[in-house]
């Protein structure tokens, strides 16, 4: 039986550039699929292919996960079981972003734990914004809440804490004029937020 031919009796041929384009597209698809299978990007940092935790909130007393975001000195995103939980450090209050030492607090926190595994101890507490409120401990055993106080990059949030240890750490930083205590009249972040609300009214 004669071989079936296309109209005109010629077999179909493609220009060389079409073949090259198809080859490039195929290679790109394979590489992209392999990348999507992995949760880690360059330098071990987690890619943003996770979801932010939503209501109903999970009951989380103590959990371990990777820090995938730093909003400011005292607010992190911690990846746990495929969802990023917003974590607010308990008992301390860092300067706001636009305050003096706000950026320094964020950088200090980032250097300590961004892209790293941490343990969050919260006792199941959440604030009115749904954030987990707790203490963050790095894999090396560093208490991030305390480290920020000792570096003079956070206030002891006495409205929500009666910790003698934190009060002593803050006093030591004040006396030594470390971080924000080197300023003449540092404004507490809660007072800064109150002033902004009053101005907006």
Q: Does residue 170 carry a catalytic annotation?
A: no
Report residue 114 as tokens.
């961004």
Other C-beta atoms lying within 10 Å of the C-beta of residue 15:
8
| Catalytic hit among 85, 91, 126, 131 | 131
| Helices (H), ranges, the chain | 16-36, 102-113, 144-150, 164-176, 189-200
Q: Does residue 10 carry a catalytic annotation?
A: no
Beta bridge partners of 126: 132
| Catalytic hit among 88, 91, 126, 170 | 88
Q: Does residue 193 carry a catalytic annotation?
A: no
Q: Which helix (H) or strand (E) holds 161?
A: none
Q: Which of 80, 70, 87 is nearest to 39 (CA)?
A: 80
| Catalytic hit among 96, 126, 146, 170 | 96
Hey, is 43 helix, strand or coil?
A: helix
Annotated catalytic residues are 88, 96, 131
């Amino acid at each position: 039986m004669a071989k079936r031919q296309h109209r005109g009796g010629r077999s179909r041929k493609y220009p060389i550039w079409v073949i090259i384009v198809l080859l490039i597209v195929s290679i790109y698809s394979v590489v992209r699929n392999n990348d999507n299978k992995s949760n880690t990007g360059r330098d071990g940092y987690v890619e943003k292919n996770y979801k932010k935790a939503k209501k109903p909130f999970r009951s989380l007393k103590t959990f371990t996960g990777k820090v995938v975001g730093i909003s400011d000195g005292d607010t992190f995103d911690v990846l746990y079981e495929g969802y990023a939980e917003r974590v607010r450090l308990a008992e301390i209050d860092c300067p706001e972003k636009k305050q003096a030492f706000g950026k320094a607090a964020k950088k200090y926190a980032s250097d300590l734990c961004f892209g790293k595994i941490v343990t969050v101890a919260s006792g199941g507490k959440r604030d009115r914004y749904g954030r987990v409120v707790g203490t963050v401990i790095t894999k090396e055993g560093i208490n991030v809440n305390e480290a920020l106080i000792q570096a003079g990059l956070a206030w002891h949030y006495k409205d929500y804490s009666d910790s003698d240890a934190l009060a002593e750490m803050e006093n030591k930083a004040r006396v030594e004029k470390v971080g924000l205590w080197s300023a003449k009249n540092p404004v507490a972040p809660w007072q800064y937020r109150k002033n902004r609300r009053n101005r907006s009214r």
